[in-house]
Structure 1
């Protein structure tokens, strides 16, 4: 029996608005599994990660999978929502718009120990309450340039599932997302939307800057990570992701993430 999705509002970003005096603002939330943070946007960029739990951040252009070892950058004014597949301890840092980096699209980043320490050092008290640290504003101004420098040095990792503008190609992509275990070939999937395999392959390269195989791998990771986070056996996740053998799935997974599937299995908080 599946759990019902619990929808919540955008977690009061207006109470953490960065400004010239406080260019970095941080907030933390402890959210239960199957929580959906509704679509929202704000005029400043953000960096989001979870100290525990895998999250999925979605925009109109696709989805980004964020395990605890990574963070996702969201530019200013980009509508986004967040889905939690398990209990998660969520930390978000808002940056004043004049701070760098000025990336125009969402990016999944590897979190260095220093970057993690800087984000966790920020006060998380909302406006209207006295900060837990009376020197919070001063510390935020000191931390800001170092945090931005560390951000710009961070390794960018593709754990996202972009969606194309072409209607036929989008139909093909959404069919696979609904059934990642399906083993139809690209030629068979292309025929189902009235196109040739060559045409579909070209559209993937032109519209998304990646091959069909690369896009399918991203879709499989997006499907597999939440299942692993729920504690599902690797063999079951491999089968649900369309892989005939566990070894083939594990090899793909480790090449893409740098870790084995078992590294992403977590015991749910009671």
Structure 2
């Protein structure tokens, strides 16, 4: 079984001064890891099927289908495919960057942006003036859509302390774990008080808030795959579907059912 995918530093089409934004089609095998690497250009990774987990600059981002993660140039990042992943990678020249260059972020992908990504992936770099004008206009509009895209709070800060790393990594693998902070303390070799202090000092949030953020990100992935709300609630460790729905609505403004309806319109 393939677990690591060697990184190819030469993408299919890198951005240039003449073409500051390019779109590439990618497919990743199930559960494969692309080792840590960086680019001279910015990247917008946009899954159409499956989900991605991106680790970079002390943070992790869970990126479900029909959302995208922005990775600035020069930031080293590791990519993990959650299931089989079909994605588009949008490369953007540093000088044309529409989003901040200092940090990664997950953004909403509008209907117009989706259409532009597909059109640009199919566009042939022709020499005719009309072809060049059409491509340039699509690139300008794509950059404008990226600039105005609303961000999503799907980033998880990652700790430096080895004991807290062990706890957080275990939760990432099993978000439904019911273990309390006191029970985790016994497993990772630290007192409950020490872990509580580390969560605040390293991650600027408590244990419960960090776990809920993780579960929210995972919920978006599972719902985006069409999983029923009851199954998602059980898989994430909620006592009932109602409790899960209430948490989801507080975070995203709509219940899971409506989110699934809106997602179906995008598919």
Pairwise mapping of residues 186-225 of structure 1 onto structure 2 (< 5 A)? 186-225=181-220
Q: How does 1:1-270 map to 2 (within 5 A)?
A: 8-10=5-7, 13-29=10-26, 31=27, 34=30, 36=32, 38-39=34-35, 40-50=37-47, 52-60=48-56, 61-77=58-74, 78-86=76-84, 88-100=85-97, 101-124=99-122, 131=125, 137-229=132-224, 231-262=226-257, 263-264=259-260
Distance 1:253 1:144 in 2: 35
| Cα distance in 1 between the residues matched to 2:167 and 2:22 | 41
Which of structure 1's runs of 4+ aligned residues deviate more than 6 A?
Answer: none
Return the alpha-carbon distance in structure 2 between the equivalents of residues 205 and 141 of structure 1.
47
Report if the CA contact (8 A) 1:26-1:91 is conserved: yes
Comparing 77-86 and 100-109, the one that deviates more: 77-86
User: Are the counterparts in 2 of residues 28 and 124 from structure 1 also a CA contact under 8 Å?
Assistant: no
Deviations 1:30-67, CA, capped at 9 Å, x for gaps = x37625362343211111213x3231132243432223
Bigger mean CA offset, 197-206 vs 210-219: 197-206
Question: C-alpha distance in 2, partners of 1:207/1:63?
Answer: 14
For 2:114 and 2:222, the matched residues in 1 are separated by: 25
Q: Unaligned 5+ residue runs, structure 1?
A: none
Gapped regions of structure 2 (runs ≥ 5) = none
SS at match of 2:40: coil
Give the structure with the higher percent helix.
2
The whole-number CA distance in structure 2 between the counterparts of 1:138 and 1:35 is 40
Post-superposition shift, 1:173? 1.2
Deviates more, 1:130-139 or 1:250-259: 130-139
CA distance in 2, matches of 1:58, 1:96: 21
Q: In the TM superposition, what whole-angstrom CA distance separates every residue of 1:80-107 from its partner, at most 9, and x where no partner exists?
A: 3241425x54222100111222332220
Aligned residues: 257
Could you tell me how far apart the structure 1 residues matched to 2:127 and 2:111 are?
22
Distance change in 2, residues 1:140/1:197 (3 Å): farther
User: C-alpha displacement at 1:141, in angstroms?
Assistant: 3.6
Question: In the superposition, relative to structure 1, how do residues 133 and 120 fare at CA in structure 2: closer, same or farther (>3 Å)?
Answer: farther
CA RMSD across the alignment? 3.3
- State the Cα distance separating 1:259 from its structure 2 match: 4.5
Q: Does the 8 Å CA contact 1:59/1:81 hold for their aligned counterparts?
A: yes
